[in-house]
Amino acid sequence: MTSLDLRRLRIRPGEQHRERRAVELEPYDLGGQRYEPHPPGPEADLTLTRTTDGLVLELELDARLAGPCFRCLKETEIGLRVRGREYQAGRGAADDEELRTPYVEDDTLDVSRWARDAIALGLPDQILCRSDCAGLCPVCGKDLNAEPHEHADVELDPRWSALEDLRDRL
């Protein structure tokens, strides 16, 4: 876990602390598939700005995830530019939950958890090898990108016969 001890920062209101560090990331499980971060510890830029009553936290990193395409299961890799911003109120307003970030606990910023959540929010609905991926054939399971084809004699499930009769009558 990558973390940052906020107690060691000696910044006054209006001042900033900038730091670049590797962030340990765990793999993601999406749709029953595993997506590994490459590299497992991408470099992140952290900017912490002291305000009169708190701390503004900013995170910026480029992340890459490798795993199977949602449609054809071919190994693919996607890249994301992630930016996050959080606010941590000072001790006087710390009772107001809306003014606290969930990533700071006991004056320690959990950078790994924050980066992981920011990446998850930036992921597309489906991770695809390419935008026009045709996927796998539902009949034979072959990759339709490499071998486009159709099956002429598709045997229908007999349980659908009642609907076929209804279609013929209409």
| pLDDT tens for each residue of 29-53 | 998 899 999 998 999 999 999 998 8
141 and 99 fall within a common domain: no
111 and 29 fall within a common domain: yes
Q: How many domains does the chain have?
A: 2
- The strand pair at 43-50 and 54-68 is best described as antiparallel
Is 37 within 8 Å of 60 (Cβ atoms)? no
160 and 78 fall within a common domain: no
Q: Is the pLDDT of residue 151 over 90?
A: no
Domain that holds residue 159: 134-170
Mean of pLDDT over the chain: 90
Spell 37-76 as b/e; 16+ CB within 10 A means b.
beeeebebebebbbeeebbebebbbebebebbbbbbeeeb
81 and 143 fall within a common domain: no
CA distance 102 to 88: 9
154 and 90 fall within a common domain: no
| pLDDT tens for each residue of 121-148 | 999 999 999 999 999 998 889 999 999 9
153 and 84 fall within a common domain: no
Is 77 within 8 Å of 38 (Cβ atoms)? yes
What pLDDT score does 132 carry? Answer: 95
17 and 80 fall within a common domain: yes
117 and 40 fall within a common domain: yes
Question: 92 falls in which pLDDT band (50, 70, 90)?
Answer: low
